[in-house]
Chain A
Amino acid sequence: GEQVEQLPSILRVQEGSSASINCTYENSASNYFPWYKQEPGENPKLIIDIRSNMERKQTQGLIVLLDKKAKRFSLHITDTQPGDSAMYFCAATVRGAGNKLTFGIGTRVLVRP
């Protein structure tokens, strides 16, 4: 199986600054790490992901880093905007476990104007 720890649980940032969320996993066979954003009353939406053959990926103000040795991956939101306020979930899939994603507990990001 897999266990995913996610920190912090709440993150308050000033608009324009960056926000960072960190996750760790246990199973070295995990090979896919997606990040989901969930706004109140909405379903979680895939915003960025990274596979184990990469260390860094960037798209539209989002950067995800993967450190396989430390079994750690992180999401960095650059130049935060009020619209970035939401719950963010990290997840990991173990190779060979099919569709099974193990999720972190979530981080509530609050962007102050």
Chain B
Amino acid sequence: GALVYQYPRRTICKSGTSMRMECQAVGFQATSVAWYRQSPQKTFELIALSTVNSAIKYEQNFTQEKFPISHPNLSFSSMTVLNAYLEDRGLYLCGARYSYEQYFGPGTRLTVL
């Protein structure tokens, strides 16, 4: 079946530091990968859409300078949160798409101290 792994599951970083998270699609080749942030009491905010061999499209309020993404192949994507601050706290979800269906990984929960 289609599985999406994310690493790490939880991370704590000091304010102003950076952390990198990874997303791996297993059992299928993802046609595209979307990174979302789910903040407390909020629904899902789309950060960026990434398709292999295409430019990564960032949503308003999110930039490549803050959330650089690497998407080298159909199975793997990584995103870094640079200079993390309190407002960057939340659950970062990777959604890997196969055909119409989008499957989410377990998320990386980021706590910023």
Contact = CB atoms under 8 A, between A and B. Distances in A.
A100 B93 contact: no
Contacts of B46: 100-102
Interface in A99-113: 99-106
A70 B101 CA distance: 24
B34 A106 contact: no
Contacts of A44: 44, 93, 104
Interface stretch (A14-22, A45-53, A55-63, A72-80): A45-53
Interface of A: 32, 34, 36, 42-46, 49, 51, 89, 93, 98-106
Contact of B93 (A43, A93, A99): A43
Contacts of A49: 100-101
Chain A, interface SS category: strand
8 contacts: A36-B104, A44-B44, A45-B104, A46-B101, A49-B100, A99-B33, A99-B34, A100-B49
B1 to A, nearest CB: 11
A32 B91 CA distance: 24
A102 B104 CA distance: 14
B77 to A, nearest CB: 11
B111 interface: no
Given A98-B51, A99-B102, 10 more contacts: A42-B106, A49-B101, A99-B34, A99-B49, A99-B95, A100-B46, A101-B34, A102-B46, A104-B43, A106-B43
A24 to B, nearest CB: 15
